[in-house]
Chain A
Amino acid sequence: MRSSLFFFLVATLVGALFFFGIRWVANDYLFFAGYTVLQFIVLATAWNILGGYCGYVNFGSAAFFAVGAYSSVALHKLAAGVDRYFPEALVGLAKIVLPLNIPTLIIFGGICSGLIGLGTGYLTLRLRGAFFAIATLALAVVLQTLIVNWDFVGGSRGAYIIRPQSVPIIGSYIQYLFLIMVVLSVLALTVARMIERSRLGYGFATIRDDELAAEACGVPTLRLKLIATTISGALMGMAGAPFPYYIGYLEPGSAFGLAYAVNSIAMPMIGGTTSWVGPLVGALLLGIIQQVATVTISSAVNLLIVGLLLVGFVIVAPKGIVGLVQDFMRARASDEGRPTWRSRLAIFANMRPGAR
């Protein structure tokens, strides 16, 4: 617990430095770009809790993300039309409660997506891994169809969200959103790291390796898988909740974009799936490459880069970047035998000696 708290504080500090660094440069574009990268950190970390730790591939990340985003849209619309949607007796109360701030929306989005994750788990967890993966693909399309046909949140036309020009203390709204994403990323990373070091983390690893043997060791595999789908789904929803305010205009095509599904798989796979560091490294690397490529080349090309990197990495370096670095460090450590900054870094990053 104490180490997690320490980790949380350190990560928050890094995030804050990051924030003030960009603010010092005083360029709003950097905040826009940074927000996207941070959002991918949350998505990749969330995906990895189910995909990397438990070995269950989720192709439907976009759906969980979109559920978070659309839960915000729904609440926004509800707040805008309080007089229409509430009986007169409740209008007064609704007016006090409803104009929700972003943190509340994030919690609400997390709950919605978490429930969807739990439901998906219940429906599919008795299935082999491949069927689970296909079912998540199906889930994404079913949810997208529901949203397209749900006029209240804009249907296929999409919905406009007018965001305030500024917020108190921080000033510009995009900086506020950026800061919120920093906090979310730190939260996601802390959760992932806590899971890794806990009993739950061992349980997840046994599910990944051999479910039958896990059961024989007393691991309640079904319950653990439900926990994993719920946490993973909830974090993805939380990443999606502020998205309508970021983009200003949300339509099903952008919320359910394939880019989310691909990136949230590619980032952990390229970074490495066994520890929380992998998704972080992958998200930073791919996120920044894509931001640069979008500006300098085109958005189609940057998706091509992601796809090629994904295919290349799973073939050539199945352990990802973290795996490559670990192998390098192990080779160096066996040369010297005394603790170095590298081995301290390894301990901090929670790379268990056996973890590959």
Chain B
Amino acid sequence: MAEPLLQVDNLGKRFGGFVALDGINLSVTQGERLGLIGPNGSGKSTLVNCMCGTLQNETGSVRFDGHVVDGLAAHQRTHRGMARSFQLPRPFTTLSVAENLRVPLLYTANTRRGTHLSPAEITARCEELTGLVGLAAKADKLPRDLTQVEMRKLELARAMAAEPKLLIADEAMAGLSQSEVGDIVELLIKLNERGVTIILIEHIMRAVMSFSQRLVVLVSGKKIADGKPDDVVNNPEVIGAYLGQ
């Protein structure tokens, strides 16, 4: 079997006395669509932050694409091909939509070995991305002129602009209507079909079930289930964790 794209071993993180992550093991293979769920405060966001380098893990290690990435800063992990979107969209507020996408193109896509994008190519890719997520008409607008769902799309498009091997989408659908959720799921599947591995962290079960090929459940910083979505949601321990709280 080929080496997994992402391999998390015995990952641990504490905040003061609070154990946020307690020995997490997780592996993700190339091309997979993984769903990650868990109640509030179960450590999902901390796990994302530790994988992406926003926080540094205390124990264990993260291997990505054949290399240990522990201790690397967030931007270095992005350069290696790991991109994320944020739970609350964090656009660059003084830059237009197109310029927001330009940033990862200039700083990540353009710095990979053997790539040099001309200004024209960068503009072309910006247009392609705004087209892909349906923001072409708003390319010159500032983020504050966008609706909630457009903001989410910008967030995803910006992560995509880094041309990642692995995309980690942190609650990309919170606060959206049912049809908007459908749009985003469709978009994510479209991206996956282009060969991007995706981890989706989500509360909305319908979205997770329709998206994921595999489902992982975190509770109180521990992984309690990992398997096919249908098996996982029928797992008594998972049901207990969700209903019992």
- Which of B95, B142, B161 is the one whose CB lies under 8 Å from A205? B95
Most buried by B among A217, A352, A356: A217
Q: Does B90 contact A (CB under 8 A)?
A: yes
Q: Does A164 contact B (CB under 8 A)?
A: no
- Which of B93, B108, B142 is the one whose CB lies under 8 Å from A217? B108
Question: Helix, strand, loop or mixed for chain A's interface?
Answer: helix
A356-B103 in contact given A212-B54, A217-B108, A218-B162 (Cβ < 8 Å): no
Pair count A-B, CB < 8 A: 94
Q: Does B73 contact A (CB under 8 A)?
A: yes
Q: How distant is the Cα of A132 from the Cα of B38 in the complex, in angstroms?
A: 38
With a cutoff of 8 Å between Cβ atoms, the chain A residues found around residue B74 in the complex are 212, 215-216
A205-B107 in contact given A212-B54, A215-B73, A216-B52 (Cβ < 8 Å): no
Chain B residues numbered 93-112 whose CB sits less than 8 Å from any CB in chain A? 93-96, 99, 102-104, 106-108, 110-111
Q: Is the CB of B142 within 8 A of A354?
A: yes
Q: How distant is the Cα of A264 from the Cα of B101 in the complex, in angstroms?
A: 33
A 207-250 to B, binary, CB cutoff 8 A, 1 in contact else 0: 01110111111111110000000000000000000000000000
Chain A residues numbered 260-312 whose CB sits less than 8 Å from any CB in chain B? 274
A219-B107 in contact given A354-B95, A354-B99, A354-B142 (Cβ < 8 Å): yes
Q: Total interface residues on B, using CB and 8 Å? A: 34
- Which of A199, A354, A356 is the one whose CB lies under 8 Å from B106? A199
Q: Is the CB of A217 within 8 A of B162?
A: yes
Q: How large is the interface on A (under 10, 10 to 19, 20 to 34, 35 or more residues)?
A: 20 to 34
Q: Does A203 contact B (CB under 8 A)?
A: yes
Q: Is the CB of B95 within 8 A of A218?
A: no
Q: Does A113 contact B (CB under 8 A)?
A: no
Residues of A within 8 A of B (CB): 199, 202-203, 205-206, 208-210, 212-222, 274, 352-356
Residues of B within 8 A of A (CB): 52-54, 73-76, 78-79, 83-84, 86, 90-96, 99, 102-104, 106-108, 110-111, 140, 142, 158-159, 161-162
A selection of 29 A-B contacts at a CB cut-off of 8 Å is: A206-B103, A209-B92, A209-B94, A210-B91, A213-B91, A215-B73, A215-B74, A215-B75, A215-B78, A216-B54, A216-B74, A216-B75, A216-B78, A216-B83, A216-B86, A217-B78, A218-B104, A218-B107, A218-B111, A218-B162, A219-B75, A220-B75, A220-B76, A221-B75, A353-B96, A354-B95, A354-B99, A356-B94, A356-B142
